[in-house]
Amino acid sequence: PVLTQHLLDWLVPTESAATPVVRVGEAVSLVPLPRAQSVFVVAPDGTQQQIAPPFPAPPVTNTQLPGVYRVLQQDAQGAQTESQFAANFLNPRESRVAAGVSSGTAVGSTRIAAASPEPREIWPYVALVGFVILAVEWWAFHRQ
């Protein structure tokens, strides 16, 4: 029962499913908890905005400040659940992962750049020495 409960808590979290990181000025869709009676968003400067009621909650469009926004949800018994999302100045160039042109060779050229020394790994040699030691011990044990 404990493992099942932990798996359910991990797979189906009780917090709202907000987009964790958005661009500044981008709208954020919130999914309130089923028992939530009211939903508030607290901006990084401390200003509080009521998002719901009415339900379903409209997207949060006031994300002009960079920083962490807190989402506060309150149910009928007064219990409060808090989740967060962040608004950042995301730069598309930071996520570009295409290979660049090497400075040592030209594109389409067959010239080979000067080889730079690379560090060599020694683990295969250590493993070989360990294997030899084990083989000698095994041979000495079975010789008796």
Neighbours of 36 (CB within 10 A): 23
The pLDDT of residue 15 is 55
Q: What tokens were used for 24?
A: 């500044």
Q: How far apart are CA 56 and CA 62, in angstroms?
A: 18
Per residue in 24-39, pLDDT (tens digit) is 888 888 888 888 889 9
Q: Where are the domains of the chain?
A: 15-91
Per residue in 100-114, pLDDT (tens digit) is 665 555 555 555 556
**% pLDDT > 90, the chain:** 25
Residue 22 and residue 85 in contact, taking contact as beta carbons nearer than 8 Å: yes
Which amino acid would we find at residue 84? Answer: Q
Q: Residue 25: left if φ>0, alpha if ψ -120 to 50, beta else—which one? A: left
Topology annotation, domain 15-91: Immunoglobulin-like (2.60.40)
Per the confidence metrics, is the pTM higher than 0.85?
Answer: no
